[in-house]
């Protein structure tokens, strides 16, 4: 049984306040993009294993969010161990939800594989325990996200006219491959007194620049000037709107042209996608 977990991008992201549980209340719009991984579950086995392809990042099986998805269902619904095959295309530490999307896809796959017949809202509750943005990937539809990122409201947002260019430095200037989410949160000063993302998003895309703000973008760009440079380059290539996604380090530009002329060296992951 095979599926294709999609990446997401964030359109605006406000960090509203720190919560007593250590998380932050946020408001953001998440949209799925055509960049995706491939996840297959083939057979039951004496113990759960994840065979990884397309990445040299070593993550112990038990720390992989796909394993956590299996473990959660095994504990609650008594499913057997399985073998997963996971081919990675979504970069890690990118703010594109790659690990969360794989985990949500694992929940959906295992629900079908073992005929558990768990409804979507149960899968979403399970997903929210695995990661704050994980529930979004159960449906993978444009949504306004609040709370930790798990309270979702599907929205109508037709961006099908735009081509999206995703650009991520393969290595940041300090040698890291991506940005750690807790570190990114520690750099932001929460502010709940602004025009909500839900209002700004209803403006025409051509008005989003300087209005639809991702709170992580400024502090992360201060630490890594290459992020600001990518966004400036996307605008000079003709992007109608460009921003960093989530806690970074992937950035994206929305283009009206099909094939934007981009000039990034081999030190960058560059992917032309559609918003789905």
Catalytic residue numbers, as ranges: 8, 133
Stretch that binds ligand C5P, among 75-83, 178-186, 195-203, 213-221 (CB under 6 A): 178-186
Stretch that binds ligand C5P, among 22-30, 107-115, 167-175, 250-258 (CB under 6 A): 22-30
Helices marked H in the chain:
65-77, 98-113, 120-130, 136-139, 181-186, 197-200, 217-223, 225-236
* Binder of ligand C5P out of 185, 216, 224, 268 (CB under 6 A): 185
Interaction of residue 246 with ligand C5P, rule CB under 6 A: no
Interaction of residue 248 with ligand C5P, rule CB under 6 A: no
**CB neighbour burial string for 34-58, b if at least 16 within 10 angstroms, e if fewer:** ebbbbbebeeeeeebebebeebeee
Stretch that binds ligand C5P, among 2-10, 19-27, 188-196, 227-235 (CB under 6 A): 19-27
Binding mask of the shown chain, residues 53 to 92, with x at each position contacting ligand C5P by CB under 6 A: ----------------------------------------
* Binder of ligand C5P out of 8, 24, 126, 168 (CB under 6 A): 24
The nearer residue to ligand C5P, 81 or 196, going by C-beta atoms, is 196
What is the sign, positive or negative, of the torsion defined by CA atoms of 135, 22, 71, 99?
positive
C-alpha triplet 140, 144, 147: angle, nearest 5°: 105
Collapsed DSSP state (helix, strand, coil) of residue 18? strand
Please list every residue from 118 through 157 that binds ligand C5P, using CB under 6 A: 131-132, 148-149
Residue 202 falls in which region: left (phi positive, over 0), alpha (psi -120 to 50) or beta:
alpha
Do 51 and 82 touch, CB atoms closer than 8 A? no
- From the number of C-beta atoms within 10 Å of its C-beta (0-12, 13-18, 19+), residue 182 rates as exposed
The nearer residue to ligand C5P, 15 or 231, going by C-beta atoms, is 15
Place of tokens 């998440």: 30
* Binder of ligand C5P out of 7, 11, 13, 26 (CB under 6 A): 26
Q: How many residues bind ligand C5P (CB under 6 A)?
A: 10
Residue 270 CB neighbour total at 10 angstroms: 14
Helices marked H in 59-180:
65-77, 98-113, 120-130, 136-139
Interaction of residue 223 with ligand C5P, rule CB under 6 A: no
* Binder of ligand C5P out of 20, 119, 182, 204 (CB under 6 A): 182
* Binder of ligand C5P out of 176, 181, 196, 272 (CB under 6 A): 181
Interaction of residue 4 with ligand C5P, rule CB under 6 A: no
Give the residues lining the site for ligand C5P (CB under 6 A): 23-24, 26, 131-132, 148-149, 181-182, 185
């Amino acid at each position: 049984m095979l599926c294709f977990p999609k990446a997401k991008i964030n359109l605006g992201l406000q960090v509203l306040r720190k919560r007593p549980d250590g998380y932050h209340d946020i408001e953001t719009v998440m949209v799925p993009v055509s960049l995706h991984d491939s996840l297959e579950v083939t057979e039951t086995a004496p113990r759960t294993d994840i065979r990884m392809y397309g990445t040299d990042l070593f993550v112990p099986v038990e720390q992989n969010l796909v394993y956590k998805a299996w473990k959660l269902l095994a504990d609650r619904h008594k499913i057997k161990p399985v073998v997963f095959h996971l081919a990675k295309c979504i970069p890690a530490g990118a703010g594109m939800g790659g690990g969360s999307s794989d985990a949500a896809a694992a929940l959906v796959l295992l629900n079908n594989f073992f005929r558990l017949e768990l409804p979507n809202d149960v899968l979403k509750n399970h997903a929210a325990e695995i990661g704050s943005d994980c529930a979004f990937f159960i449906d993978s539809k444009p949504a306004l996200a609040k709370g930790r990122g798990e309270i979702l409201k599907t929205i109508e947002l037709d961006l099908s006219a735009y081509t999206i260019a995703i650009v991520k430095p393969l290595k940041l200037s300090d040698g890291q491959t991506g940005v750690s989410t807790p570190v990114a949160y520690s750099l932001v000063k929460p502010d709940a007194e602004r025009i909500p993302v839900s209002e700004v998003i209803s403006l025409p895309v051509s008005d989003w620049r300087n209005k639809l703000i991702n709170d992580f973008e400024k502090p992360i760009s201060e630490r890594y000037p290459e992020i600001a440079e990518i966004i400036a380059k996307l605008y000079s290539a003709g992007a109608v709107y460009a921003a960093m996604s989530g806690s970074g380090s992937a950035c994206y530009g929305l283009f009206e042209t099909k094939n934007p002329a981009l000039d990034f060296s081999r030190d960058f992951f560059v992917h032309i996608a559609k918003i789905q």
